[in-house]
Amino acid sequence: MKAIIKLILRRLGYDLVRYQAFPSVSWNPLPLLIGEWATRQPNLQLVQIGANDGGPTDPLRHAILKHQITSLLIEPLPDIFERLNQNYAGVDHVRLAQYAVGPTDGTLILWRVKPDSNLPSWTRELASFDRNHFAKFPIPNWRDQIEPIEVPMTSPTTLITRHELNSIDCLVIDTEGFDAKIVHAFLDSAIRPLLLVYEFFHVPIAERISLRRRLFDLGYLTLDVGRDTQAVHPSLAELIL
């Protein structure tokens, strides 16, 4: 994985070197990786689960727009989805969907910070299927600040059928602790993205280890960047190299 990143950087005119005292900064190679990939595979298909509002701080936004990557962006919270819709208004190669993704079709209770709360704006973008998840954040009286909403949940197989996807090349997941279950659901459905990115930070350690072993057995090369795990399938490594 590190060799792939270094090769991409060199082709873009950069180099990656190690110094004795390296600053504790998490640098995300994902936009460069996807950009290089898109130049070699114009029909690249990307799915982002937990897309939030897709604003300028989203690391995928620039690559999606610059390389016109065919994308499906999924966000279950109604008000956040509305902002996502506004941020991608008029972008024909991007489709949007408002639901959660999980192992089965049905509905789930999703906990979120109340939209009309007086808390900082970043808290209103938090949502989790685990009510106690909010205890991890500096939210005063968090039990009084959250509310449940019922959201539809779609399985990977139904997602593929509903949106008529012939493949998912790049799958990016950020769901505040539900990530491992979603990854397993895709793998259980025999869906093998060439690039798989998920947030491991809120996933219990036992689940992290189990998923990492499964990815290793499937041949994926993995690298942890910040709070995310980036898993590259050997087929993508061959394409980029």
Q: What domains can you pick out in the chain, each with its CATH number?
A: 2-103+156-240 (3.40.50.150)
Strand arrangement, sheet containing 221-225: 94-97, 70-74, 45-49, 170-173, 195-199, 228-232, 221-225
**Measured torsion, CA atoms of residues 137, 139, 144, 145, in degrees rounded to the nearest 10:** -90
The whole-number mean pLDDT for each consecutive block of 10 residues of the chain, a chain of 241 residues, reads 64 54 55 88 94 92 95 96 97 97 96 90 88 91 94 97 95 95 97 96 94 95 90 83 65
Whether the model pTM is above 0.95: no
How much is the pLDDT for 25?
38
The DSSP line for 167-200 is --SEEEE--TT-HHHHHHHHHHTT---SEEEEE-
How much is the pLDDT for 22?
35
The half-sphere exposure of 38 on its side-chain side, counting CA atoms within 13 A, is 20
The half-sphere exposure of 99 on its side-chain side, counting CA atoms within 13 A, is 16
How much is the pLDDT for 11?
65
DSSP label at 137?
S
**Measured torsion, CA atoms of residues 153, 96, 225, 238, in degrees rounded to the nearest 10:** 100
Per the structure block, which two tokens stand in for 156? 């990977």
How much is the pLDDT for 7?
64
How much is the pLDDT for 8?
63
How much is the pLDDT for 108?
93
Per the structure block, which two tokens stand in for 164? 């008529």
